[in-house]
Amino acid sequence: MKILILNGPNLNLLGKREPSIYGNETFNDFFEALKKKYADVELHYFQSNIEGELIDKLHEVGFTFEGIIFNAGAYTHTSVAIGDAIKGIETQVIEVHISNVYAREKFRHVSYIAPNAKGVIAGFGLQSYELALQSFL
Ligand code: CA2
């Protein structure tokens, strides 16, 4: 089973800044542990700060992979283009967030991903990604 974890802007800073909101583990450390725990799953990871690169990756895997776990970062709340890309692919997407976006500023309550996602998981720290993976499994 092929699953992509896709991270959007600024998530490359995880574990390096703002630990009170996003924790102190780097995504690479988390991802290495996840791959070991789910060794029978073909887990892929891609991060970009560039909207078009995220869209290209959705197009690249969105007809062959079994699932996409997507934290689009702040693009979640702004990107019509990413919303359209999710509408245009076949692979199901689960929207994830590390923080509970509904307990934060109003602009974070809006999502262009959610209307076309299988579901949304927010507020469980990096465990949000593992919960999404378990849902696909
Ligand atoms: O809670 C989440 O996962 C978010 O998608 C994170 C985004 C934010 O804009 C969304 O509203 C919610 C921000 C990612 C920034 O990540 C950082 C990590 C460490 C240090 C600085 C930024």
Residues 22, 75, 112, 129: which is the catalytic one? 22
Say which CATH number the domain at 9 has: 3.40.50.9100
Catalytic-residue membership of 22:
yes
Is the pTM above the cut of 0.75? yes
pLDDT, one tens digit per residue, over 58-78 is 999 999 999 999 999 999 999
Whether residue 10 has its Cβ less than 6 Å from ligand 1: yes
Structural domain range at position 103:
2-136
Bridge partners, 4 (sequence order)? 44, 68
How many domains, in total, are found in the chain?
1
DSSP state of 71: E
Question: What does each C-alpha distance from 33 to 17, 27, 39, 47 come to in angstroms?
Answer: 21, 10, 10, 17
Work out the percent of the chain whose per-residue pLDDT is above 90: 93
